[in-house]
Structure 1
């Protein structure tokens, strides 16, 4: 009897190894100068695929960033969706990480360029798996890319915005910088600098505090000018595809005014507020900024279950039943 039990366990082990359909696999897509790189989790038959578009700066396919963000929100969300049979495609932006070969200068980019990359990713995914359309999930700045893509691409199932700006990024950036009283000594000239970028003009960083030099570095000003020219609420209003807006009540970077702007722009959209969720999809205590910030470096914390539920329910809903 013990021998039979051992053989049964071994057979079960090999049976599991022989079922790779849900395993993660590398996927590439054509970029402007070289390959874009990402990670694909194949959906179960008749289940959807969600393309996760990263947030600002050097954010990788897992949602991590060299600036002390190691919470892995995209990877953890993908893992949770995989448990429901939902596939995901997580990507590195052109010129960064696995997509470094796609362009020599990752800062020489526009939102339109990211939309072109999104189209390339969709074509690569559709060549790999049998799907009619792809859902776009944009996080933070990635939400602007997702909304812009919705104006250009035809093969989308719909759009999901998670902790997304609802106002132009110049407004959001100005508010973020002034929100912390400790920043006051650094902010001389910052409002004028943002106003110049909003007007489409580059600024001289010598007029700013040295600690802000990286934020307004000449190498990124072209992208900042392009980014600030996009109004997320207007893009949401022009989006015909099913639209889900998910806002976190404990988000330190994106406030209630942004959620309100998106809802005003697209009143038809489905809206979910997750009171305890922060900007990196984690549940944290209210009025606890240190715990909130600490979660940015904690990949052991799961993403908010309500986020998984909201995304899964929205993308699994039969077409024609969108609210």
Structure 2
């Protein structure tokens, strides 16, 4: 009787362990680009058949492959990749280039431009396109990565997905944000940005704007201002999906609507109670802000359902 009981228990444990096995292999993958070597993670589906591959582009700042940086840990992009894998979709996500710089390269960080991100992403796309190991290559750009993705994916990717991506130029966004937070600085902000749009560095500005217009950052802003998301998304001839959440306190739903208006043959989804980090927020701004440093809060299931359907129908 005891032997039978032990046998049943063993079979139960074996069955449970088997069901918990991952359907993918996690691989550390570095890719050389013209400026550096990007470090990333490939989640490769264990299948004899070719699967779609999603290239996940992180947002602004020194953001890593998981969606984290020195100021916050939320694991949003890590969760995104893992959930896609559960649905038999491979993915590659990578650290922003500055996180891969050598000591010598760090000294030249002031020369970084928006084009640097585009060039890096094109190198990643070409690497996987050349491998011919995947059925489709889909670009998923989060936040700032949306603009990077729609530019770099043109003529290379099979589809493009914008997650919480801006629909306006960075100068428009900065003017809006500063006008709300400090209305008395609006005119000064407009003056500085008008100069940067003309390619002229500004030496004198209100010290209260130093964090935005530090002289070392101005060349990067100059290169970023040149790109209008509405113009860039129009140039895409591939299937396009635009997603935004109603609880995003950084990029409003109007931005997604502007992108959709610019490319009306795309698909648009506004997800109720999803914030900038793709997580569900049912409460107030405090709950929203706390999510930025909650690495255990999962991303919204509805997002994965929409992404999976779009990718599988390509």
Q: Please, what TM-score do these two structures have when normalized by structure 1? A: 0.85
**Take 2:186 and 2:172, find their aligned partners in 1: how far apart are those partners?**
15
Q: Please, which of 23, 26, 48 is the counterpart of residue 24 of structure 1?
A: 26
Aligned-pair distance for 1:123?
A: 3.6
**Take 2:22 and 2:86, find their aligned partners in 1: how far apart are those partners?**
14
**Take 1:138 and 1:32, find their aligned partners in 2: how far apart are those partners?**
21
Count residues with an aligned counterpart. 307
Tell me the alpha carbon deviations over residues 290-316 of structure 1, each in whole angstroms, 9 at most, x when there is no partner: 211111111221111111111111111
**Take 1:70 and 1:14, find their aligned partners in 2: how far apart are those partners?**
30
SS class of match (1:46): coil
Task: Give runs of aligned pairs for residues 223-262 of structure 1, distance below 5 A.
Answer: 223-262=220-259
Task: Give runs of aligned pairs for residues 120-135 of structure 1, distance below 5 A.
Answer: 120-126=123-129, 130-135=133-138
Residues 1:170 and 2:134 aligned together: no
**Take 1:79 and 1:35, find their aligned partners in 2: how far apart are those partners?**
24
What's 2:304 paired with? Answer: 308
Q: Please, what TM-score do these two structures have when normalized by structure 2? A: 0.88
Aligned-pair distance for 1:115?
A: 2.3
What's 1:119 paired with? Answer: 122
RMSD: 2.6
Tell me the alpha carbon deviations over residues 145-194 of structure 1, each in whole angstroms, 9 at most, x when there is no partner: 1111133x43x1200001111111110121122223xx346667222222
Task: Give runs of aligned pairs for residues 77-226 of structure 1, distance below 5 A.
Answer: 77-96=80-99, 99-101=100-102, 103-104=105-106, 105-126=108-129, 130-151=133-154, 153-154=155-156, 156-180=157-181, 183-184=182-183, 189-204=188-203, 206-210=204-208, 212-226=209-223
* 235-244 or 217-226, which deviates more: 217-226
Tell me the alpha carbon deviations over residues 95-115 of structure 1, each in whole angstroms, 9 at most, x when there is no partner: 21xx22394334423333222
Kindly indicate whether the alpha-carbon contact (under 8 Å) linking 2:247 and 2:273 is maintained by their aligned counterparts in 1.
yes
SS class of match (1:88): strand
Residues 1:281 and 2:281 aligned together: no
Kindly indicate whether the alpha-carbon contact (under 8 Å) linking 1:28 and 1:124 is maintained by their aligned counterparts in 2.
no
Unaligned runs of 5+ in 1: none
Aligned-pair distance for 1:55?
A: 0.7
Change (3 A) 1:20 1:84: closer
Kindly indicate whether the alpha-carbon contact (under 8 Å) linking 1:60 and 1:92 is maintained by their aligned counterparts in 2.
yes
* 186-195 or 263-272, which deviates more: 186-195
Aligned-pair distance for 1:127?
A: 6.2
SS class of match (2:81): helix
Change (3 A) 1:103 1:89: farther
Kindly indicate whether the alpha-carbon contact (under 8 Å) linking 1:32 and 1:103 is maintained by their aligned counterparts in 2.
no
* 212-221 or 49-58, which deviates more: 212-221
